[in-house]
Amino acid sequence: MIYLFIFIVGSIFGSFYTLVGERIPNKKSIIKPASHCPNCLKKLKWYELFPIFSYIFLRGKCRNCKSKIPVMYFLMELSCSFLFLISYIIFGFSFEFFTCLVISSLLVIIFVSDFKYNIILDSPLIISSILYIILEFIYKDFKTVVLSCCFGITMFTILFLIKLLGDLFFKKESLGGGDIKLGFVMGLILTPRVALIALIFASLLALVYALFTKAKKEQQIPYGPFLSVAFYISFIFKDIILNILNTF
């Protein structure tokens, strides 16, 4: 029952995070208007608002105008459900579990906003940082919080320097401001050593994506989604990564 509960909660949050990633870049309120069909703008009935299940029940189409509902909503709801569930299966109710929820939430929002609008929103990054610091205050101590903040600043600085060198070498923007700010959250939670491994992993993921989609040289590939996926995976396997790094 607890697995089902977490899966359902994940789908609800996934639906909300998709809304956030969709509306805030367009400078729209996340409260008004109520959920509606993006094509005919018809307000959705209460039974059309169940994450995942409503999409399946409606066969991916608006009940009113029969236009296709963007599959992104379904995928993000499903992804968030599984991310929450995997986090619980691995960590149980613990500091690591709640940290994983913070990372998962950030991952879903970034996927929507960066893939669709090439922007990583400041507000989710700020809220995620605050939530993690609160978790450290609850589960750890003030000294750990200060150290984590220093790690975040270190990672932010490293990414900022990488951007400067990349801009100079490629003669164009190599990293966006959102990617650098995300680096702060990664350093805050992972520590710089693990965050740098995540950075390398994210670059490999982005390269595979570029090759798979046959992206053109001039095409801008959003880096945030790959960073956030690498962020989540690196946190899950953080201890293994640290053990490997400590052997060198």
d(CA 244, CA 55): 43
Question: Given this model, what pLDDT does residue 196 score?
Answer: 92
Of the candidates 76, 66, 72, 102, which has an alpha carbon nearest to the alpha carbon of residue 87? 102
Q: Which amino acid is at 244?
A: I
Residue 83 · residue 6 · CB < 8 Å: no
Of the candidates 104, 11, 93, which has an alpha carbon nearest to the alpha carbon of residue 50? 11
d(CA 248, CA 243): 9
Measured in whole angstroms, how far is the alpha carbon of residue 106 from the centre of its chain?
3
Question: Given this model, what pLDDT does residue 46 score?
Answer: 65
Per-residue pLDDT of the chain (248 residues; tens, 9 = 90+): 899 999 999 999 999 999 899 888 888 878 777 777 666 767 777 666 788 888 888 777 777 777 787 788 889 999 999 999 999 999 999 999 999 999 999 999 999 999 889 899 999 999 999 999 999 999 999 999 999 999 999 999 999 998 899 888 877 777 888 999 999 999 999 998 999 999 999 999 988 888 887 666 556 778 889 999 999 999 999 999 989 888 87
